[in-house]
Chains A and B, each alone.
Chain A
Amino acid sequence: MVTKPKKVKITKAESPTIKIGDLVIEIGEIEEDTWGEPLGPSPKPSWTELREWDKKLLNRYEPFYSPTCDMCCLCSYGKCDLTKDRKGACGITQRAQQARLILLECVIGAACHGAHARHMLEHQIERLGADYKIDLGLNIETEAPIYRTVIGKKPETLGDLLEGMEYAEREIQNLLASVHTGQEGDNLDLESKAMHAGMIDNLVKEIADLAQIVGYDFPKGDPDAPLAELGYGSVDKKKPLILFIGHNVAPGAEVITYAEAYGKADKVEIAGVCCTAHDLQRRDKSAKIIGPLSEQIRFVRSGIADVIVVDEQCVRTDILEEAMKVKTPVIATNDKMGLGLPDRTDDDPEAIVDDLVNYRIPGAFIHKPEKVGEVAVKVAERIAAKRAEFKGRALPEEEELKAEAARCVSCEKCQRACPVNLHISAALLEAAEGSFERLASLRKLCVGCMRCESACPRDIKIVSLMEKAAEGETYSQSYKIRVGRGPILDTEIRNVGAPIVFGEIPGVVAFAGCTNFANGAQEVAEMAEEFLKRNFIVVTSGCAAMAIARYKDENGETLYERYPGIFDAGGLVNVGSCVANAHILGAAIKIPYIFARRNLRANFEEIADYILHRVGAVGVVWGAMSAKALSIGTGLNRWGIPVILGPTGTKYRRLYLGRKDVPEKWEIYDAKTGEKLVTDPAPEHLAYVAESKEEAMVAIAKLVMRPNDTTKGRQIKLAHYIDLHKRYFGTMPEDIHLYVRTESDIPFNLKEVIMEILREKGWKERKIPDPTMLPRLIMKKKEAGK
Chain B
Amino acid sequence: MRATSWRLTMEAGPTKAKPVNADFAARIIKQASRPALAIGARITEHERLIEFVERLSRAGVAIIATAHAIRYTSERGIPAYKAGVVEATHLLTDPDWEGFDGKGKPDLLIVFAINLDLENQTFQTLKNFSDVKTLSIDRYFMVNATYSFPNLTEEAWLAQLDELCQKLGV
B residues engaging A (CB < 8 A)? 6-8, 12-15, 40-41, 66-68, 70-71, 74-75, 82, 84-87, 89-91, 93, 114-118, 121-122, 124-125, 127-129
Contact = CB atoms under 8 A, between A and B. Distances in A.
Interface stretch (A19-27, A58-66, A549-557): A58-66
Contacts of B14: 70-71, 81, 83
Contacts of B128: 65, 67, 70, 82-84, 94
A647 B13 contact: no
A593 to B, nearest CB: 34
Given A67-B124, A694-B68, A729-B71, 8 more contacts: A64-B93, A67-B125, A70-B12, A689-B85, A692-B41, A695-B41, A699-B84, A729-B70
A692 B86 contact: no
Q: Which 6 residue pairs of A and B lie closest in terms of their CB atoms, listed nearest first?
A: A70-B13, A66-B121, A691-B67, A694-B68, A692-B41, A730-B71
Nearest to B87: A657
Contacts of B70: 729-731
Q: Which one of B40, B118, B121 has the highest number of Cβ atoms from chain A below 10 Å of its Cβ?
A: B121
Interface of A: 62, 64-71, 81-84, 94-95, 416-417, 419, 421, 518, 647-648, 650-651, 655, 657, 659, 661, 688-692, 694-695, 698-699, 728-731, 734
8 contacts: A67-B128, A68-B12, A69-B13, A650-B117, A657-B86, A691-B67, A692-B67, A695-B68
A737 to B, nearest CB: 15
Contact of A691 (B15, B40, B71, B75): B40
Given A68-B124, A416-B7, A731-B82, A694 B118 contact: no
A688 B66 CA distance: 13
B67 to A, nearest CB: 4
B46 to A, nearest CB: 13
B13 A66 contact: no
A662 to B, nearest CB: 9
Nearest to B41: A692
A688 B125 CA distance: 15
Contacts of A688: 84, 86
The SS class assigned to the A binding surface is: mixed
A671 B54 CA distance: 50
A698 B66 CA distance: 13
A417 B13 CA distance: 18
Nearest to B15: A83
Contact of B114 (A82, A94, A691, A731): A691
Contacts of A699: 84
A633 to B, nearest CB: 15
Nearest to A84: B128
Nearest to B74: A730
The SS class assigned to the B binding surface is: helix
A734 B40 CA distance: 18
Contacts of A648: 117
A168 B85 CA distance: 37
B98 to A, nearest CB: 9
A695 B84 contact: yes
A503 to B, nearest CB: 24
Contacts of B13: 69-71, 81-83
A257 to B, nearest CB: 44
Nearest to A657: B90
Contacts of A661: 91
A454 to B, nearest CB: 12
B123 to A, nearest CB: 9
A416 B5 CA distance: 9
B51 to A, nearest CB: 18
B146 to A, nearest CB: 12
A62 B74 CA distance: 31
Contact of B118 (A62, A689, A730): A689
A647 B66 CA distance: 12
Nearest to B6: A416
A238 B8 CA distance: 44
A650 B121 contact: yes
Given A70-B12, A692-B68, A518 B84 contact: no
Q: Which one of A417, A648, A650, A690 has the highest number of Cβ atoms from chain B below 10 Å of its Cβ?
A: A650
Contacts of A734: 82
B84 A690 contact: yes
B67 A65 contact: no
A731 B74 contact: yes
A647 B117 contact: yes
Nearest to A726: B71
B139 to A, nearest CB: 11
A425 to B, nearest CB: 12
Contacts of B125: 64-67
Contacts of A84: 15, 127-129
Nearest to B115: A647
A730 B60 CA distance: 24
Contacts of A731: 70-71, 74, 82
B21 to A, nearest CB: 21
A114 B125 CA distance: 33
A695 B67 contact: yes
B118 to A, nearest CB: 5
Given A81-B13, A650-B117, A64 B90 contact: yes
A669 B138 CA distance: 47
Contacts of A94: 128-129
A689 B122 CA distance: 12
Contact of A689 (B12, B82, B86, B91): B86
A691 B82 contact: no
Q: Which one of A417, A647, A691, A728 has the highest number of Cβ atoms from chain B below 10 Å of its Cβ?
A: A691
B8 A416 contact: yes
A82 B41 CA distance: 31
Given A83-B128, A689-B84, A518 B115 contact: yes
A651 B89 CA distance: 15
Nearest to B96: A662
Contacts of A518: 115, 117
A64 B121 CA distance: 11
Contacts of B118: 647, 650, 689, 691
Given A518-B115, A647-B115, A66 B85 contact: no
B96 to A, nearest CB: 10
A381 B75 CA distance: 63
A94 B127 CA distance: 11
